[in-house]
């Protein structure tokens, strides 16, 4: 009858490596949701650091977005509603999230180049948004050409700051006015 070979205990270096990995993992789990503290403004408004953070689901945000695509060479303009390119739930989400607005603007730039053959378009957007019942306000600077902005983790200076303080709104019995 053969006996199983004796197990050697893990080395001190292996134990330290495991403890180091567990420490890094727990540190990430604690610090990553707090990254919104690195950005100026309200993460409920500008969405910077909002995803995967601990304050998820603590806000109600409604918005309406109208994109304008402009051919720089001819000056011709087209108004684009996200609903014409996206599903209903996608269009609702795009209007409230600046990173998705930027991604959709770059998508429109590609569509105009590939399908219409128009290179060098400008894409601007007018987004009227309401956060937690506040009156609607501009979310994105309507004068900025979004095709010139690269996606990054840096602060988005093209997202306008939230100016209105929160006041408990009167009870609503009608749809929220999303014009600004």
Distance, CA of 13 to CA of 179 (rounded, Å): 62
Domain boundaries, the chain: 11-168+176-180
Q: DSSP for 70-94, please give it.
A: EETTT--EEEE-GGGTS-HHHHHHH
Geometric angle at alpha carbon 24, from 23 and 25, rounded to 5°: 90
pLDDT tens for each residue of 67-123: 999 999 899 999 999 999 999 999 999 999 999 999 999 999 999 999 888 888 999
pTM metric for this prediction = 0.79
In 10 A of CB 48, how many CB atoms?
Answer: 21
pLDDT tens for each residue of 4-48: 777 888 888 988 999 999 999 999 999 888 888 888 888 888 888
pLDDT tens for each residue of 113-140: 998 888 889 999 999 999 988 889 999 9
């Amino acid at each position: 009858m053969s006996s199983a070979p004796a197990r050697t205990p893990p080395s001190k270096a292996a134990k330290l490596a495991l403890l180091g990995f567990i420490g890094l993992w727990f540190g990430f789990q604690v610090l990553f949701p707090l990254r919104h503290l690195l950005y100026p403004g309200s993460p409920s408004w500008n969405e910077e650091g909002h995803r995967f953070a601990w304050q998820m689901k603590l806000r109600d945000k409604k918005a309406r977005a109208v994109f304008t695509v402009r051919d720089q060479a001819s000056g011709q303009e087209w108004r684009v509603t996200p609903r014409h390119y996206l599903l209903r739930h996608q269009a609702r989400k795009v209007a409230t999230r600046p990173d998705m607005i930027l991604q959709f603007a770059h998508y429109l730039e590609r569509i105009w180049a590939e399908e219409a053959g128009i290179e060098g378009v400008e894409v601007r957007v007018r987004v009227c948004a309401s956060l937690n019942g506040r009156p609607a306000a501009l979310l994105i600077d309507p004068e900025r050409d979004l095709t010139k902005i690269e996606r990054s983790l840096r602060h988005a200076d093209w997202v306008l700051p939230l100016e209105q303080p929160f006041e408990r709104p009167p009870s609503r019995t009608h749809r929220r006015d999303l014009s600004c």
